[in-house]
């Protein structure tokens, strides 16, 4: 993201070199030894310099603190940087800005992206909307949303349990029917098999009798003449 603000009153913005290869950033050193933004010149890089203010004290550049590197060290780091640097500055928030930060946080809890939430909060402050009241409304919406989500989860759990219980009961009934019907099915199968065997034997005997009448076997010596 181009910029961010956290609870420690530190704003971090990424600056990029422009088409001429420059950051268009002027750093100065105060009598106290602090390093601050002396000037932010127009740039075609499209970075987030609009979020910074001239005169803001530099906390760090790419994690390199002003206290550790000193003024000359920070200048050398900026000159040696490749395409971009992360410039972090200390900022005192005004009461409206504090409220805007609270509102942005509340909007973030509603699922709004960080940059979008910050933009909405900033617009609310600019239009004179009470950010604390808006944040309270957003928190209420978030709480209601969480309650609804929990309600849906509980309902889904109850429906799932009901369906599982009914399914298990139906399965038990099916198994009971199978067990009860098993012996009867086996007896019926045995009876059917026995009956079929008798029918096959009767058919074979009848067929044999018919064949004897149609084509009697040849007479053998000593057999009586056919009727």
pLDDT of residue 1: 40
Average of per-residue pLDDT across 152-168 = 79
User: pLDDT value at position 58?
Assistant: 93
In this prediction, residue 181 has a pLDDT band, given cuts at 50, 70 and 90, of low
The share of the chain scoring above pLDDT 90, in percent, equals: 24
For residue range 91-105, list pLDDT tens digits in order.
Answer: 765 554 555 666 666
3-state SS, 5-50, equals: ECCCCEEEEEEECCCCCCCCEEEEECCCCCEEEEEECCCCCCCCHH
Take residue 48 and report the two structure tokens written for it: 């987030």
- Against a cut of 0.85, is the pTM above it? no
CA distance 144 to 147: 5
d(CA 46, CA 63): 22
- Mean pLDDT, the chain, rounded, equals 76
On the question of pLDDT at 15 being above 90, the answer is: yes
């Amino acid at each position: 993201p181009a910029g961010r603000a956290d609870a420690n009153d530190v704003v971090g913005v990424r600056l990029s070199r422009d088409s001429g290869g420059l950051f268009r950033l002027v750093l100065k050193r105060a009598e106290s030894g602090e390093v601050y933004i002396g000037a932010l010149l127009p740039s075609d890089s499209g970075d987030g310099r609009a979020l910074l203010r001239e005169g803001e004290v530099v906390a760090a550049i790419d994690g390199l603190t002003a206290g550790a590197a000193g003024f000359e060290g920070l200048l050398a780091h900026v000159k040696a940087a490749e395409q971009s640097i992360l410039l972090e500055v200390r900022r005192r928030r005004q009461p409206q800005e504090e409220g805007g930060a609270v509102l942005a946080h509340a909007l973030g809890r509603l699922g709004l992206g960080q940059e979008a939430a910050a933009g909405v909060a900033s617009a609310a402050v600019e239009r004179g909307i009470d950010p604390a009241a808006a944040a309270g409304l957003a928190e209420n919406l978030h709480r209601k949303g969480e309650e609804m989500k929990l309600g849906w989860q509980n309902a889904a759990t109850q429906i799932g349990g009901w369906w599982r219980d009914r399914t298990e009961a139906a399965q038990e009934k099916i198994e009971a029917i199978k067990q009860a019907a098993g012996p009867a099915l086996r007896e019926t199968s045995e009876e059917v098999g026995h009956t079929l065997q008798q029918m096959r034997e009767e058919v074979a005997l009848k067929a044999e009798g018919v064949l004897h009448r149609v084509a009697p076997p040849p007479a053998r010596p000593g057999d009586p003449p056919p009727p």
